[in-house]
Structure 1
């Protein structure tokens, strides 16, 4: 059985991804969507508050938007390997636009309830489960292999910039006009992105014939056969759980007790965002020969701010540690994505991305729950130090996997390998 790409990957091509019209369209769609998504969490929280909900109601809303992303992610990966990814992106963004639009209307008219907000969140989460795997494979279909790292960095540059400005702008919009307007803008950006993405007209990958269950079994076999892929997923799950639990959950509490509260926490968040932007700029220039090794090492930098806050170091030392964590995280994401796109054949990228995503997303609620329970018996500093130690341990153990160091940067005329080690055939 041969594995084939849906379209040829050019050996020679334009000198920059931005010279490719389809890539410019893809970047534009992502940028437009990001401007709405950056404001959505704040608007969602205040829509719950405005209708009288408290922490329990907000927790229910957040859970209903997260659970379907995990539950349906494998189905999204399966469809991404069978259908046109541009059509999947269109449908997913259109579905999200409808959900956010309906939510905006109910909030604006005063008919929003916890149940209705949660229902819209469930639809948005379902849409995300189809968007994420399709987007992963779409970039590799659009951009020549030698420009994948630059393309991934260019995709993250505007989104990181929006992350820095979006919450502040969203706060002004919500304060001045109410949550409904911010939610409506999010719906408009999803709809605009859907139209742009439909214009990509990407062909469906040429997947092996078979039923849904056989495709899922083949996908799992391919995932398990790639030791570098599943070990990185396991290590990444530990990193995600430890980082979010330590930084997002305990960070504000430590800032309130040991530093100057919201002001200093805002500075720490700003340092992290600046680090993300700096990491993107590094990836535009630096193309490591061992991208997966670099991704593993760079991800270990997330331990720095957790350890510095656990040791209650002065703020002037916490800020550069947090900025370095941002630099490391962005380098890790770009290097990992590039290695994945270069080493996994087109017809398998949707399922491989889904299996990877499920593992890392499952770690989020587990990390929050375990940290909340541990914080009852341990001090916040002890939990932070434990989270930092988990990140370091996961990084070092992943570096002990020989396959991680065998993933080098492919030359333009090389082809990715199937799970059995054979080179895949590119169909002209």
Structure 2
């Protein structure tokens, strides 16, 4: 009697297992890092600076990471990135356990972690969907994200308890060990079934090729542009304004924590839904599910009572996950495998580039127009951007194909789409993935 579906091969199981392990550690480490800064007599601003120190190299090196992942074996890039994260977190843990490290040391180690993530993320997404056949890609990615999101929820809960029980240093040490174990699992990935990619003509040429892949597809750059602003609004609303609303009007950190946990549970429910649901109009379905992302900001602007906010966050989590899986299905179907990581890196870059700006401007905007107006503005902008993306014909027309036909990657997108079986004149777009603040782990 088999305990796993036939499509879930050795590589898929190794990738999913390694992701669950590393995310369990990383979710707790995010909490531990903040408390390590505070334990060293740091301020809230210092906590933000350490978080920014991780984000900045992540943004700076993402495009290079995507180009590297398309030039080298992706599993080796993933292992190297995990080793770097293991070393940085291990040293961070050692410094915290043996004293109170200065802020610059904690920021430098956080920056090393962000650098590792910049190389890991594009390579990872290229490997996950290369581990299953096209007709199973949607279900496989849904299962993968269900494990990832479940690990995020469990890791955050366990990490918070361990920080209180044994201190942040040991939680950082556990994260280092988790990265080591994940690297060991990924080292056993079999790359024999992945087609070899011919070396390109240099890093800059590879980056230009990746940009051409994005710029030549209206649906792709439109959604990446959309999420560069949508994610910024989400971060401003939920990372800056949300805790303030919770503290002043909802009863403190407890109801806010429950609402965020409900979002995480919703993402698991959305992934479970997508193991069964296979929408035909991939991007139309996914984009319609972006509209609910405007609801948390509106709920905070009212504000809804804690129970209402929790319900809104749960529903938003489901919607986010439907978008994420639909987006990845389209990407897997439409982007040439040998350029997958470069396109993925542009998507990550677009999704993250507005986040530091939004974090920095959220306070001044609140001072200028008031928190309620700022929250309603976040909600309105998300809805308007999503409505604008629905005006793009390729977004509405992309149709799922269980088996993608052989395709000349240099052929214009419209020609390939019109020739696809069952399209009957529909143009085919493609997606990239779930945006970091709402769907990446």
Match of 1:45 among 9, 23, 34: 34
Contact 2:125 2:344 in 1 (8 A): yes
Q: Is residue 362 from structure 1 mapped to residue 353 from structure 2 by the alignment?
A: yes
In structure 2, the partner of 1:408 is 399
Asked if the contact 1:301–1:325 (Cα under 8 Å) also holds between the matched residues in 2, the reply is: yes
Instruction: State the secondary structure of the residue aligned to 1:285.
Output: coil
Local SS of the residue matching 2:240? helix
Q: Which of structure 1's runs of 4+ aligned residues deviate more than 6 A? A: none
Q: TM-score, normalised by structure 1?
A: 0.91
Q: Work out which structure has the larger RCO, using CA pairs closer than 8 Å and 6 or more positions apart in sequence.
A: 1
2: distance between equivalents of 1:384 and 1:239? 13
- Confirm or deny: 8 A CA contact 1:205 1:346 kept in the other structure: no
Shift of 1:160: 1.6
Q: CA deviation at 1:55?
A: 2.2
Secondary structure of residue in 2 paired with 1:251: helix
1:226/1:419 contact within 8 Å kept: no
Whole-Å separation in 1 of the counterparts to 2:402 and 2:148: 28
Structure 1 position 113 matched with structure 2 position 108: no
Matched, 1:343 2:341: no
Alignment root-mean-square deviation, CA: 1.8
Residue 60 of structure 1 deviates from its aligned partner by 2.1
CA distance in 1, matches of 2:71, 2:79: 15
Say whether residues 1:206 and 2:197 are aligned partners.
yes
Pick the aligned partner of 2:289 from 298, 306, 312. 298
Residue 375 of structure 2 is matched in structure 1 by 384
Deviation for aligned residue 1:174: 1.4
Q: What is the match of residue 53 of structure 2?
A: 64
The change in CA–CA distance for 1:59 and 1:242 in structure 2 (over 3 A counts) is same
Deviations 1:116-167 (A, max 9, x none): 1111111111100110000111012211011111111111112222222222
Deviations 1:76-122 (A, max 9, x none): 00011111001001101011001101111111111522111111111
SS of 1:245's equivalent in the other structure is helix
Aligned residue for 1:273?
A: 264
Which deviates further from its counterpart, 258-267 or 328-337?
258-267
1:81, 1:204 within 8 Å by CA — same for their partners in 2? no
Match for residue 7 of structure 2? Answer: 17
| Structure 1 equivalent of residue 128 of structure 2 | 139
Please tell me whether the aligned partners of residues 25 and 196 of structure 1 are also in contact (alpha carbons under 8 angstroms): yes
Alpha-carbon distance in structure 2 between the residues aligned to 1:362 and 1:43: 25
Cα distance change, pair 204–97 in 1 and its aligned pair in 2 (3 A): farther
Structure-2 change in CA distance of 1:319 and 1:49 (3 Å): closer
* Counterparts in 2 of 1:146 and 1:189: CA distance versus 1, 3 Å: same
Task: Give 1:253's match in structure 2, choosing from 218, 232, 244.
Answer: 244
1:126 maps onto 2:115 in alignment: yes
Among 151, 157, 165, the residue aligned to 2:154: 165
- CA gap of 1:419–1:380, structure 2 versus 1, over 3 A, is farther
Name the CA distance, whole Å, in 1 between partners of 2:182 and 2:280: 34
Secondary structure of the residue that 1:281 maps to in structure 2? helix
Aligned mates of 2:403, 2:313 — CA distance in 1 = 36
Indicate if the aligned counterparts of 2:71 and 2:200 stay in contact, CA closer than 8 A: no
1:233–1:360 contact (8 Å) kept in structure 2: yes
Deviations 1:288-312 (A, max 9, x none): 1111111211122111122122122
1:367-399 CA deviation, whole Å, 9 max, x = no partner?
222322110022222111110001100110000
**1:328 and 2:316 correspond:** no
Aligned counterparts of 2:255 and 2:96: Cα–Cα separation in 1: 33
CA 1:39–1:122: 2 relative to 1, 3 Å: same
The alpha-carbon deviation at position 206 of structure 1 amounts to: 1.5
How far apart are 1:43 and its partner, in Å? 0.8
- Alpha carbons 1:343, 1:416 under 8 Å: kept: no
Deviation, 1:405, is 2.0
Q: In the aligned structure 1, how far is the partner of 2:14 from the partner of 2:336?
A: 24
Aligned to 2:409: 418
Q: Residues 111, 247 of structure 1: CA spacing in aligned structure 2 closer, same or farther, 3 A cutoff?
A: closer
Q: Is 1:353 paired with 2:356?
A: no
The alignment covers a number of residue pairs equal to: 410
Q: CA deviation at 1:418?
A: 2.3
Q: Distance in 1 between matches of 2:92 and 2:218?
A: 43
Partner Cα separation in structure 2 for residue 413 and residue 287 of structure 1: 15
Conserved 8 A contact 1:82-1:205: no
Gaps of at least 5 residues in structure 1 are 1-13
